[in-house]
């Protein structure tokens, strides 16, 4: 919080660390809700798993002190894969790792580079899980968020406004999973009975995107 | 080390007991004197139901004799975690996720590996377990 963010390249290691702190707080705050959503259609562990993973990621980043935004994301991803214990670990882990690798070694990058990195990450999630929007998964929040982010940046908005648009799209996307029938994961075995419940993965995705929006707003 | 090296088998389940039991069953059905390296990697980071990447990495290293490692996984996060570890190159070279039914595939894989078959043959035998109809 000591340096003034560079308006040309606002995404540096400190930005990603602030996002991680905000995301960890949000996951802690909403862990019980995530687990509750996971009870009727999943195995009632999403909140617990996400909480364990993000606390471990925060500790890892404090200990290893990665110095570039890419390196922070890669470390978060690697930690999530090894600590979450549910499907969200490899999925979010792949998202963060791919995004981090896409950012490369640079100290700070502009908004459109963050967008491109997140797109690479979301593509990685779709590839790993074999899911598409409409399958009642985290992609139902992530894909609209990415589209909103992209549209806002293309329309000349700054990063804070673009991420706010992404957060709204992710929240709406998560809410829109309620009437869907699950086609991936354990919930898909429930068939029709998966209808009427909001997807826990899409809900946690919306939290993570909202944490990006909070981070950009506070830094602006 | 005796030659030639045998393919190693890793069994990844959401349940530590299931992984251990299937490993025991597959080894038991292979017959006495088999020295196929088989390791279970079951349960999550907290010991409950789930998937632990650390257990998977340790198991793959433990069974790697240089002839490759066939990994069989049960569901969801077990499969996704193995795929993510392979993508990150965190498993020994020559490690492969085999598309096979967990229990039947494990038996087929261990029996085939015990003959000294290579990784392709072990993988094919495990995958072929899908074709065994029960009705």
Predicted confidence at residue A220, as pLDDT, reads 65
Domain membership of residue B71 (yes or no) is yes
CA angle B71, B18, B48 (to 5 degrees): 100
Domain membership of residue B2 (yes or no) is no
Low-confidence ranges of chain B (pLDDT < 50): 1-2
Instruction: Give the CATH fold of the A11-219 domain.
Output: 1.25.40
Does B50 contact A at CB distance below 8 Å? Answer: yes
Q: Which domain does B16 fall in, by range?
A: 8-131
Domain membership of residue B105 (yes or no) is yes
Nearest to A91 among B48, B80, B87 (CB): B80
Domain membership of residue B99 (yes or no) is yes
Contact A70, A105 (CB under 8 A): yes
The pair of three-digit structure tokens given for residue A219, joined into one six-digit string: 């830094």
Predicted confidence at residue B1, as pLDDT, reads 45
| Runs of H (alpha helix) within chain B | 16-30, 53-63, 76-87, 102-114, 119-128
- Record: contact A81-B51, CB cut-off 8 A: no
Domain membership of residue B22 (yes or no) is yes
Report d(CA A91, CA A157) in Å as an integer: 29
C-alpha separations of B66 from A66, B7, B77 in Å? 34, 8, 27
Q: Which residues of B touch A89 (CB under 8 A)?
A: 51, 53, 77, 80-81, 84
pLDDT tens over chain A, length 220 residues:
445 556 778 999 999 999 999 999 999 999 999 999 988 888 888 999 999 999 999 999 999 999 999 999 999 999 999 999 889 999 999 999 999 999 999 999 999 999 999 999 999 999 999 999 999 999 999 999 999 999 999 999 999 999 999 999 999 999 999 999 999 888 888 888 889 999 999 999 999 999 999 999 987 6
- Record: contact A85-B50, CB cut-off 8 A: yes
Domain membership of residue B107 (yes or no) is yes
Q: What is the pLDDT of residues A33-42, one digit of tens each?
A: 999 998 888 8
Nearest chain B residue to A90 by CA distance is B81
Predicted confidence at residue A2, as pLDDT, reads 46
Q: What is the pLDDT of residues A170-195, one digit of tens each?
A: 999 999 999 999 998 888 888 888 89
What's B22's domain CATH number?
3.40.50.510
Predicted confidence at residue A4, as pLDDT, reads 54
Domain membership of residue B3 (yes or no) is no
Does B87 contact A at CB distance below 8 Å? Answer: yes
Predicted confidence at residue A185, as pLDDT, reads 81
The whole-model pTM stands at 0.90
Predicted confidence at residue A1, as pLDDT, reads 46
Say how many domains are in chain B.
1
DSSP SS3 for A24: helix
């Amino acid at each position: 919080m000591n340096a003034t963010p560079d308006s040309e390249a606002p995404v540096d290691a400190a930005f990603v660390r602030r996002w991680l702190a905000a995301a960890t707080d949000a996951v802690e705050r909403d862990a019980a809700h995530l687990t509750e959503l996971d009870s009727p259609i999943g195995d009632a562990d999403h909140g617990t798993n996400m909480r364990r993973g993000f606390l471990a990621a925060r500790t890892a980043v404090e200990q290893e002190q990665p110095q570039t935004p890419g390196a922070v994301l890669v470390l978060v991803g690697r930690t999530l894969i090894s600590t979450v214990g549910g499907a969200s670990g490899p999925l979010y882990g792949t998202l963060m790792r791919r995004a981090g690798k896409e950012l490369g070694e640079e100290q700070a990058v502009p908004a459109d580079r963050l967008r491109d990195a997140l797109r690479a990450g979301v593509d990685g999630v779709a590839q790993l899980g074999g899911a598409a929007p409409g399958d009642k998964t985290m992609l139902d929040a992530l894909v609209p968020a990415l589209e909103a982010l992209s549209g806002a940046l293309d329309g000349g908005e700054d990063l804070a406004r673009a991420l706010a648009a992404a957060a709204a799209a992710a929240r709406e996307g998560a809410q829109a999973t309620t009437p869907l029938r699950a086609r991936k994961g354990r919930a898909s075995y429930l068939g029709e009975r998966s209808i009427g419940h909001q997807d826990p993965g899409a809900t946690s995705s919306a939290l993570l995107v909202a944490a990006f929006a909070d981070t950009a707003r506070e830094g602006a | 080390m005796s030659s030639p090296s045998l393919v190693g088998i890793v069994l990844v389940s959401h349940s530590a007991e299931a992984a251990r039991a299937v490993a025991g069953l597959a080894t038991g059905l292979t017959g006495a004197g088999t020295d196929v390296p088989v390791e279970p990697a079951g349960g999550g980071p907290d010991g409950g139901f789930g998937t632990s990447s650390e257990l998977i990495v340790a198991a793959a290293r433990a069974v790697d004799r240089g002839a490759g490692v066939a990994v069989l996984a049960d569901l969801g996060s077990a499969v996704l975690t193995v795929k993510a570890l392979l993508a990150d190159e965190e498993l020994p070279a020559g490690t492969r996720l085999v598309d096979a039914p967990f229990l039947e595939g494990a038996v087929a894989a261990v029996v085939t590996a015990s003959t000294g078959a290579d990784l392709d043959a072990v993988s094919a035998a495990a995958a072929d377990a899908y074709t065994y109809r029960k009705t």
